[in-house]
Structure 1
């Protein structure tokens, strides 16, 4: 991703130079030069860099993860793994608490930000596909652009269901047709089946943070894993087959051994630092604060004086882990080391009990805090430089185990679950795992990584009551189409219930 970022800067320079032609009419040779440029390896990577720039998280709800008010918050805080309460001292907007309480509306900022980000990303991917196909670029580069587009459409239909769909940018917003979730699913599967085999097999280096063949099969497995939610028809065996293709890339669990050099005490936490280890990481979001993207998650969780004592910058005193979620972890689980309670440096003490999320709100120091993404340098009060794991091998081991159980082969699932438990310092299961075991283990292993809402919907727990709300209505399994999108496009129909 570093090389791609440099090339993206180059793309900006090229754009400026082209803009200086002023009133000069477009000539045939302009198109010839563009085609020649995008057919080269360097030019193809410039086109792709413009698409990958949409993945990086930044302010204004842009990106996959790393900053705030976007896709990550929408999908994490509507689940049970984290929330930002409104505080009794007046801190924090109510948006996050309303997500946790399933009270979001079509006019909400985060709902709108996520929609806008995904469509901007799709527009960028469409443009790259057109540039690369017109130029006759290498098949692997065209395939990469199409897989990226499928990734964004997957996130879009996962959140919103029936959505506007287009693959060329020659249509205006008000003309975009609304396409069923089934049709978008079919498109994604067909695109991935056709293009993933053409992706590069390179791991790391210039493909760190890019879709290679193994990340492509990971995306296909994710789509198949949730096929029953999207279409009504499960695809457990196809999910297993996609994961088996991924496994030919040679991934393994990163060690979980004690490590005094780690701020959280174990090698395991290298999976959430800077330059994520290639043994387990399949696809990462690259971040260097104030250069490209950022990672706010620990700084957003810790209070001001506590973060100042640890990192020399003030924390935001925001995100917490609900007590019920924290209490599910076993003592001795190294993954429990990411949570902070009680007396802390800086004269702060965190209590687990949160009595209110919104009215009157939580005490300023109420709530379990999380340092899973212990800040990597460079860092400041706006975030740190931790890269973000979009896909890692432990996730796919648990996915495969889940599919085995749903296919009636729980014995094949046991060594997969046991390996993850044993890395965490726990004993193997006494018997073959159940679906409940898989659900719990996914919660322990993957918290704060953006998977929880999807898991809760698939396992049927998303609508259940919690300590802050009653049971939710069925329509909450989808987010509403933003009011602004409905106003701009008369072809759109709002999701039922909103």
Structure 2
């Protein structure tokens, strides 16, 4: 059985979320469902409490409330529209050309997958709010671990040494939440631990200001983070900070109008040389024991899922139950109910076509099931149209299954080495200094070899930008990257590339460039006069 954090052996982490929310959401204008009192000094009578409070910051990436998987500690948002990994997956993947959701009466999904969203969309509200709750939790931890408070509580030197690392992790998680805000919304309310907790309207930070803040934070804390691959499962280390920086630099032309491919190469090389290696089997990365099988060599940072302790409607529970086909009823092999969620998820034609050709017939990344299905999806509500896939599983690499047949044990691999290899390749092809053709070829071909693809002797001439974009889709589909990738390549908005149901047209139509960012939620605008709406909304 998987624990959320190895040192937390009970559900205290869940209770903690509610109490922490109350102490710091007023400065974000987010109202908790259960307004508990602020954590008291008595709570910190045990020095173990500091790790437990840090666990609450991490837990916000998996949990939504204290009363089971369907509960939410944010007023007005249910668990399905505010679980961090799930809404991140929807905004990055469901909005693009890889995934489609059958049940369009589910709040917000129709508008996201047809690119019709507005500032009232509950999934957009959920992402904005959940990211800012992470900021809030991190700020609360930092407020409770100042030198003055530690002195007053007579905290031991040994615990103070650990708290240095804990504070760095809290700042990293806050920076990661702001990274997602920068990418998805282009702006965010900026709140630090030194700001007032009441009667305070956070100022708005622009994309450039967020970029500078995140970059400076991650550089400042690097020396205090654990070395790569030395922290407990599910906790951040230096490599997580480096990965966020590498992804920021790769997308810097989008974010700040500057080329930072050289910086991207610098950080990808740091990650590659820090002890990670590819999982032995591609499938291991997406199985119920990906916290213990060969995937641990490759996954840089996961979002934790546990069928018993951290039950939630997160990305892997949604994907695994959703990818059970309406015709196939293949859930038993995936470790969930035989019928799963009745054909909730399918793939769009354009994704299927990336695996056309003989070299992909036995590629282990090609888990597409066609059967008697039609590749076209003319009616989204018809679950029998469109192909399905079996990328994720609640089965283990040793032949057993997860601890529950609905809520899966499969962690979501937010960052992993294969992505870093492909970032290296792209930054090198885009002209970044410090890379080499031979290293790029070795990294890309290692992915092909691991996938049992016979075309695993590619040369630098083969590895073009178009190839990289397609290979990223083949390697990283349904991992919350696709929207960002298409934007970076100039193919998300506009009409250079259309896909099934893009812009609410069955064959796809152009989108305005303003849709490269999501709108600021109307509720957030109403509660904070310092926020302004993005252009076009």
Give the TM-score normalised by structure 2. Answer: 0.78
What are the residue-to-residue correspondences of 1:312-351 with 2, within 5 Å?
312-316=337-341, 317-329=343-355, 330=357, 331-342=360-371, 350-351=373-374
CA contact (8 A) 1:61 1:71 kept: no
Candidates 368, 391, 411, aligned match of 1:372: 391
Candidates 90, 109, 120, aligned match of 1:96: 109
Aligned counterpart, 2:441? 414
Aligned counterpart, 2:190? 165
CA contact (8 A) 1:153 1:184 kept: yes
**SS across alignment from 1:116:** helix
Question: Deviation digits for residues 235-288 of structure 1, max 9, x if unmatched?
Answer: 111111112222232111122xxxxxxxxxxx3201111232221111112211
Structure 1 gaps of 5+ residues are 20-25, 256-266, 343-348
> 1-side partners of 2:339 and 2:14: how far apart?
36
Give how far 1:14 is off: 12
- Which stretch shows the higher mean deviation, 3-12 or 463-472? 3-12
> 2-side partners of 1:13 and 1:410: how far apart?
48
CA contact (8 A) 1:281 1:389 kept: yes
- Per the alignment, do residues 494 and 15 of structure 1 end up closer, same or farther by CA in structure 2, a change over 3 Å counting? closer
- Per the alignment, do residues 109 and 420 of structure 1 end up closer, same or farther by CA in structure 2, a change over 3 Å counting? same
Give how far 1:212 is off: 1.1
Aligned counterpart, 2:95? 78
> 2-side partners of 1:144 and 1:152: how far apart?
12
> 1-side partners of 2:252 and 2:459: how far apart?
31
> 1-side partners of 2:166 and 2:105: how far apart?
43
- Per the alignment, do residues 230 and 36 of structure 1 end up closer, same or farther by CA in structure 2, a change over 3 Å counting? farther
Give how far 1:10 is off: 6.5
**SS across alignment from 1:284:** strand
Question: Deviation digits for residues 415-438 of structure 1, max 9, x if unmatched?
Answer: 221221222222122552111111
Candidates 396, 413, 421, aligned match of 1:397: 421
- Which stretch shows the higher mean deviation, 168-177 or 189-198? 168-177
Aligned counterpart, 2:71? none
- Per the alignment, do residues 11 and 492 of structure 1 end up closer, same or farther by CA in structure 2, a change over 3 Å counting? closer
CA contact (8 A) 2:286 2:393 kept: yes
Q: Does 1:289 align with 2:292?
A: no
- Per the alignment, do residues 381 and 353 of structure 1 end up closer, same or farther by CA in structure 2, a change over 3 Å counting? farther
CA contact (8 A) 1:281 1:391 kept: yes
> 1-side partners of 2:361 and 2:244: how far apart?
33
Give how far 1:414 is off: 2.2
Q: Does 1:234 align with 2:252?
A: no
> 2-side partners of 1:14 and 1:478: how far apart?
29
**SS across alignment from 2:297:** coil
CA contact (8 A) 2:365 2:451 kept: no
Aligned counterpart, 2:535? 496
Aligned counterpart, 2:74? none
> 1-side partners of 2:340 and 2:265: how far apart?
42
- Per the alignment, do residues 396 and 314 of structure 1 end up closer, same or farther by CA in structure 2, a change over 3 Å counting? same
**SS across alignment from 2:277:** coil
Give how far 1:4 is off: 4.6
**SS across alignment from 2:258:** coil
Give how far 1:47 is off: 2.0
> 2-side partners of 1:179 and 1:200: how far apart?
29
What are the residue-to-residue correspondences of 1:68-217 with 2, within 5 Å?
68=86, 70-86=87-103, 92-93=105-106, 95-134=108-147, 135-136=149-150, 137-138=160-161, 139-168=164-193, 170-172=196-198, 175-201=201-227, 203=229, 207-217=232-242
- Per the alignment, do residues 173 and 406 of structure 1 end up closer, same or farther by CA in structure 2, a change over 3 Å counting? farther
Give how far 1:63 is off: 3.5
> 1-side partners of 2:88 and 2:366: how far apart?
26
- Per the alignment, do residues 98 and 320 of structure 1 end up closer, same or farther by CA in structure 2, a change over 3 Å counting? same
**SS across alignment from 1:496:** coil
- Which stretch shows the higher mean deviation, 465-474 or 395-404? 465-474
**SS across alignment from 1:163:** strand
Candidates 62, 73, 76, aligned match of 2:82: 62
- Which stretch shows the higher mean deviation, 327-336 or 236-245? 327-336
CA contact (8 A) 1:111 1:479 kept: yes
Give how far 1:334 is off: 2.2
Structure 2 gaps of 5+ residues are 23-37, 65-78, 151-159, 396-400, 502-507
Aligned counterpart, 1:386? 410
CA contact (8 A) 2:14 2:63 kept: no
Candidates 308, 313, 323, aligned match of 1:301: 323
